[in-house]
Structure 1
């Protein structure tokens, strides 16, 4: 049964989704144009560095995996947990995050192939992570806002989804 709208009566406001609340909070700390640019550049570098470091952590040999044991590492666990986290926020954005993680996985395998006798993956990843953190820190400095550690930690988890949110909004894709 559809209720008739009564003229002059206010309709209840639609409750804002949790992901929209997180994006609104993230946006509040990222207003300065320099900060916005730095986020677009350095958030992916930060994620690549962090993902590479997790990838480099030795994974135990599990007998039941057999020959496929070398296909699993701690980054596989991180992918699963990340996708679950983002899926709870927005299924559409979680698919784009999964796509992003596949691209990062490919980049990490390329780093491993090109560095067989050179720097270890963890060293390259640590360098990329430091560059990413420095860029993010410079963005916060340009903003002249100093969010607490808890807020920054939350922003680290929200930032990849926020970047996809910007792209999806440009193409009017509902997430």
Structure 2
């Protein structure tokens, strides 16, 4: 199994251009955010009936999926899992409130499409294919790479 550092080194190969990096710093969190919103939009009566917590922020499919996402990150780095947990909590809360104002699924689809257009534009600038075309696990490495690059003291 690769270490987080090995994943980052391999991911960085196709993310050298400064413009592509900036695009990724915006679009990767936007995609993560929109996926959380889409998952929150799936009817979750089964989860709500099972948990009976009266806490809509955690009684949804996004929360369930994010628990499994955290397992992926814990296997790589507990510190990174903690950072991603914070990002995930922010996404859950923000999406909850956005969903009170507009149809969350529609908003999330819009963000998702625009952010992916940005991603592919960034890779066009870079002149290299997106890493996830080589290995789908890079879809999970992208958010960690952004978090690490934006909030580390390097």
- Give the structure-1-normalised TM-score: 0.78
* Contact preservation (8 Å) 2:15, 2:21: yes
Q: For 2:83 and 2:99, how far apart are their aligned partners in 1?
A: 24
Do residues 159 (structure 1) and 142 (structure 2) align?
A: yes
How many positions carry a matched residue from both structures? 152
Q: For 2:117 and 2:89, how far apart are their aligned partners in 1?
A: 25
Q: For 2:81 and 2:132, how far apart are their aligned partners in 1?
A: 25
Q: Give the equivalent residue in structure 2 for 1:106.
A: 93
Unaligned 5+ residue runs, structure 1?
A: 1-16
Do residues 40 (structure 1) and 22 (structure 2) align?
A: no
Shift of 1:69: 7.3
* Contact preservation (8 Å) 1:35, 1:143: yes
Instruction: Write the deviation string for residues 53-107 of structure 1: whole angstroms up to 9, x where unpaired.
Output: 1110111335443353744111011110111111111000110100001111111
* Contact preservation (8 Å) 1:61, 1:69: no
Q: For 1:165 and 1:148, how far apart are their aligned partners in 2?
A: 17
- Give the structure-2-normalised TM-score: 0.88
User: CA 1:97 to 1:37, structure 2 compared with 1: closer, same or farther past 3 Å?
Assistant: same
Larger Rg: 1
Out of 84, 87, 109, which is 1:97 matched to? 84
Do residues 171 (structure 1) and 153 (structure 2) align?
A: yes
Structure 1 stretch displaced more, 26-35 or 138-147: 138-147
Q: How does 1:1-175 map to 2 (within 5 A)?
A: 18-61=3-46, 63-68=49-54, 70=56, 71-115=58-102, 120-147=103-130, 150-151=133-134, 153-168=136-151, 170-171=152-153
Q: What secondary structure is seen at the aligned counterpart in 1 of 2:134? A: helix
Unaligned 5+ residue runs, structure 2?
A: none
